[in-house]
Chain A
Amino acid sequence: MIEVTDLVYEYPTARALDGVSLKVAPQTITALVGPNGAGKTTLLRCLAALEVPYAGRVTIDGLDTATHPREIHARLGYLPDFYGLYDSLTVRRCLVHAARAHGIAPDAAGGAAEKAASRVGLSDRMEKHAGELSRGLRQRLAIGQTIVHEPRVLLLDEPAAGLDPQARRDLSTLLVSLKDADMTLVVSSHILAELEDYCSEMIIIEDGRIAGGKAVKVRDVERPRYLLEIATARSDLKEFLSGRAGLDVIEADEHHALFTFTRNPGARAKLVRDLVGAGFEVSSFGESTKALEDTYFAQVKRS
């Protein structure tokens, strides 16, 4: 759905993106993470055809951003990190205007606005002015405007910034429902915890490049990540685990190991038995709850 090839973007005094190549599959939620100033927002703006690359190619749904910027603008949704709303308009008019601006016919714009409002939970506030809404509701309205034309690709830059825990949870639920409705989402953030709930892939940007060279899978239903801890240090822990079929070590030291392994209970029970049999004092073994964070730091260490 999204394909980037050797993308270079330059500011007058620095190269912000340096040979970035990536692919994003349809109907996925991909996290775009990295330190402040790494190039996340620049990459998102290039994907949204809001910046013209110095070199390289970006295609969205088969269209090149350099030659078809307006066609791409029409078919994607982009929520910038700092967005504004027309405070003097009602929620209904904000959504109808967004629908009309995205090419929805006048007689269908009202229906599209109602549907978007329903998706973001604003149906009961249609006649309120945007300026009267709370921060969380403004965020919902902004997302509503972004999805009113049912874009195939949705780009969100720091969407949960400043939201309270309940609003963050609502946002997660909404994003997953949008993915299930056949949208492809790319969500940028430098706060890993907020991406944990809904992202399946992760792209790490560091110094204008993709760490590890490609997107990494964060969550694999068949092969989850496990975290193992042993009570007494053993320098051969990594070697022992690496030698086992079907087990891939992500990182390991003398006390801990993070690895992917089958979800099969029998295979997991056998692994624990073998560890204990080999003299490892297993103090903890379970599925990692910080998959995204673990993957991020493992990948950054490697690169």
Chain B
Amino acid sequence: MNPEFQRNLWLELTPRRMILMVVLLALVFFATAVTTGADHALIGTLPDTAEFLFYAIVVVWGTRNAATAVVGEIRDRTWDTQLLSAIGPGAMTWGKLFGSTIYNWFGGAICLGVLLSDTLAHHGPVQAGIDLVYYLAVGAISQAAALLASLIAVRRRSAHTRLDVFLYQVVGMIAGAAVWSIWSAADPAGSIITHKPASDFIVWWGRSLDSRGFLLASLAVFTGWTLVACYREMRLELKMRNGSLTWLAFVVFIGVYVAGFDAWLNDDKALHALDTVVLRLGLALATYAVLTYLMVILEPKDRVHYRWLGEQLGAGRLGAFWNGLQAWMVAYGAALVVAVALIARLYSQTRIDELALIAAGLGFLTRDVAIFVAMRGRQRRGGDLAAIGILIALYWLAPAIVGGLGLENLLMAFFPKTTAPIWLSPAVAWAEGIATAALAISRVAIRNSPAGRSEPSRA
């Protein structure tokens, strides 16, 4: 057995705790059963109670345990010992993910037993099977998201407060809530998100697909990507190197996946004049821009690593440079490639206004990314918050002041805007981008002098 899983079994699944879980759940189910239909009913029917308890135990409590699986070891100073073991990244990931939450899955299995036996009796084995896959996926994806959030945070800093752990838990719960919401969008009883009757079909890449089948497949694929992300973060924690190919594969996947939803934009009158290729490229570009912002915020902006990357590039070691690229760099590169394709398409259709907006948008993306790198390069703590503050000032505060003073012509210095002449907005955006990038690179390149040192003790 996986030694990490075994250790968690020793700690989590003690006979006393197992008996406690069984007794407590049995009491709740018994109370629900005897009060169903009465005025003083506890929650509702037995399946409702079982579902509520499943979410509470597996999603809410489980994400907490997943979030503390590694962070707790760092806090208790046992993580170095774990790092110096022979356990591989795959075994360590599933040992941590399912080991730390094994008690939650024990309780969740009892709830699922009650829930699915009701589904089996009333809706048959196929529906029970589909529900089983959904509940397992919602539990796994929420717990994996919480573990992933904690692993990303571990690379950014070593100290983690209770509030930090709560935030990692929240990430997991949001992932669970997203899965639940999207799943309910295809619920025959009606969508929780849109409050409209659910559609039986989803149009994706021009094809009509069965919505429940499509969502189930999407859920499985995204669960897989989340587990892959956990595995790759664990590899980094174990001091192994990750190449950029897997991340590039995800970037291509997510671009293709999102670009397929162009039919959803047909209702937008502002986009009516644009053809399908432009819409799809635009969706992919927007996805990559969001991914770039997300990853540049999440990843550690390590000056030493950036200097090392610069040295590899300077020495012509392109393989090492490529494998050392951070995720935001690959996403930014993908945004550039798709933007060039989009600009070429718009140029061929002589849609110059849209072309200029896209070019200006890229300039501002470059500026914003450089702000994050420059701020983190200057101060180790609070750099990202300072960068977010600057972006709020640039996108909201400064335009409000400029607009209030009646200087609308200057707004193109803050976000993409159609100007006359048409090239002015892209030129200003790229000038800002290049200047900020130069500042960021200079801050990364500067080495500070070593700190003072004390004498050894003779005692």
Contacts and interface: CB of A to CB of B under 8 A. Distances in A.
A35 B86 contact: no
A103 B449 contact: no
Nearest to A65: B239
A33 to B, nearest CB: 7
Contacts of A103: 86
Contact of A33 (B82, B240, B308, B456): B456
* Main secondary structure on B side of the interface with A: loop
B17 to A, nearest CB: 12
B403 to A, nearest CB: 39
Contacts of A89: 7, 10-11
Nearest to A93: B10
A70 B91 CA distance: 13
B77 A84 contact: yes
Question: Chain B interface: which size bin?
Answer: 35 or more
A117 interface: no
Given A35-B453, A35-B456, A103-B86, A83 B80 contact: yes
B292 to A, nearest CB: 23
B87 interface: yes
B451 interface: yes
A73 B85 contact: yes
Contacts of B304: 10-12, 54
Question: Chain A interface: which size bin?
Answer: 35 or more
Point out which of A13, A14, A34, A93 has the most chain B C-beta atoms below 10 A from its C-beta.
Answer: A13
A37 B454 CA distance: 7
B96 interface: no
Given A106-B1, A191-B459, A192-B456, A73 B448 contact: no
A215 interface: no
Point out which of B6, B80, B82, B457 has the most chain A C-beta atoms below 10 A from its C-beta.
Answer: B80
B456 A10 contact: no
A48 interface: yes
A48 B453 CA distance: 24
A101 B457 contact: no
Interface string B424-459: 000000000000000000000001111101111111
Point out which of B87, B448, B450 has the most chain A C-beta atoms below 10 A from its C-beta.
Answer: B450
A190 B10 contact: no
Given A33-B456, A35-B455, A77-B84, 12 more contacts: A12-B377, A14-B448, A36-B454, A54-B304, A69-B239, A70-B86, A70-B238, A83-B77, A84-B78, A88-B11, A102-B86, A191-B457
The 10 closest A-B pairs by CB, nearest first: A84-B77, A100-B3, A74-B86, A101-B85, A103-B86, A13-B448, A84-B78, A69-B239, A14-B450, A84-B76
Interface of B: 1, 3-4, 6-7, 10-11, 73, 76-78, 80-88, 238-240, 302-304, 307-308, 377, 380, 447-451, 453-459
22 contacts: A10-B304, A34-B456, A35-B453, A35-B455, A36-B454, A36-B456, A37-B451, A48-B84, A73-B83, A73-B86, A74-B85, A74-B86, A77-B84, A80-B77, A83-B78, A83-B80, A83-B81, A84-B73, A86-B7, A97-B6, A101-B86, A193-B458
